[in-house]
Amino acid sequence: MLGFLQKVADYTQDAVSAAKYLVQGLGVTFDHMRRRPVTVQYPYEKLIPSERYRGRIHYEFDKCIACEVCVRVCPINLPVVDWVMNKETKKKELRNYSIDFGACIFCGNCVEYCPTNCLSMTEEYELASFDRHSLNYDNVALGRLPTSVTSDPSVRPLRELAYLPEGIMDPHELPDNQKRAGLLPTQVLEELKKVKLEEENNSSKDIAPTKINSNN
């Protein structure tokens, strides 16, 4: 009899705790309802891509020396470098250059290895088209610069996570002058320069005694 009663008590306790957790869960859901939506209303609002964003590739025809390094470092040898040898000047003459963004994986190897920096990555990611062949960009198309999100008057630019001030998650209703957490890339470069200078000064002092030691 006591065992049965114990069972009933346990069962009731289980049911009560389950109900408690359920109410707790409802509280969480209810609390979420009064929070501001975190979604970005895409065609009207856009996130500002980061400086390291790997978007559609930009190409400067005049800088290119047709070395084909981009082709060699590409995982699928995608860039098409159309050049002919000019016998008289003994120089390569570039005629056409194209990248098919229907096949490109935007790994950025070509940009990394280009010896003349004629390739670079833009922040353009809206590459949808009705025909996959129209994604095959020639040197003219590759030379176009995309409209920046910040300069497009029909778009409200929003800052992303790392570009928001410390502790703020929501890019909406943020004053313009609020700086992001941490240093800007230019500040980081300056800082690095300083560190390097100091190190050089230190090492020039340090090197002298070690040389003496090695002589001994």
Partner 1 sequence: MNSGIDLEMSFTQGVQNLGLSQELAHLLWIPLPMLLVLIAAVIGVLVTVWLERKISAAAQQRIGPEYAGALGILQPMADGLKLLVKEDIIPARADSLLFTVGPILVLVPVILSWLIVPFGQNLLISNVGIGIFLWIALSSIQPIGLLMSGYSSNNKYSLLGGLRAAAQSISYEIPLALAVLAVVMMSNSLSTVDIVEQQNTAGFLSWNIWRQPVGFIIFWICALAECERLPFDLPEAEEELVAGYQTEYAGMKFALFYLAGYINLVLSALLVSVLYLGGWGFPISIDWFSSLIGISIDNPLVQITAASLGIVMTVLKAYLLVFLAILLRWTTPRVRIDQLLDLGWKFLLPISLVNLLVTASLKLAFPMTFGG
- The residues that touch partner 1, with contacts defined as CB under 8 A, are 15, 22, 25-26, 28-30, 32-33, 35-39, 41
Least distance (Å) between residue 202 CB and partner 1 = 52
Nearest residue (CB) to partner 1, 54 versus 159 = 159
Nearest residue (CB) to partner 1, 43 versus 175 = 43
Least distance (Å) between residue 21 CB and partner 1 = 10
Least distance (Å) between residue 173 CB and partner 1 = 15
Q: What is the 3-state secondary structure (H, E, C) of the chain?
A: CHHHHHHHHHHHHHHHHHHHHHHHHHHHHHHHHCCCCCCCCCCCEEECCCCCCCCCEEECHHHCCCCCHHHHHCCCCCCEEEEEEECCCCEEEEEEEEEECCCCCCCCHHHHHCCCCCEEECCCCCCCCCCHHHHEECHHHHCCCCCCCCCCCCCEEECCHHHCCCCCCCCCCCCCCCCCCCCCHHHHHHHHHHHHHHHHHHHHHHHHHHHHHHHC
Nearest residue (CB) to partner 1, 12 versus 116 = 12
Task: Please list, in sequence order, all residues whose beta carbon lies within 8 angstroms of the beta carbon of residue 53, skipping any fewer than 6 positions away.
Answer: 121, 123, 125
Nearest residue (CB) to partner 1, 34 versus 52 = 34
Nearest residue (CB) to partner 1, 35 versus 52 = 35
Least distance (Å) between residue 141 CB and partner 1 = 33
Least distance (Å) between residue 31 CB and partner 1 = 10
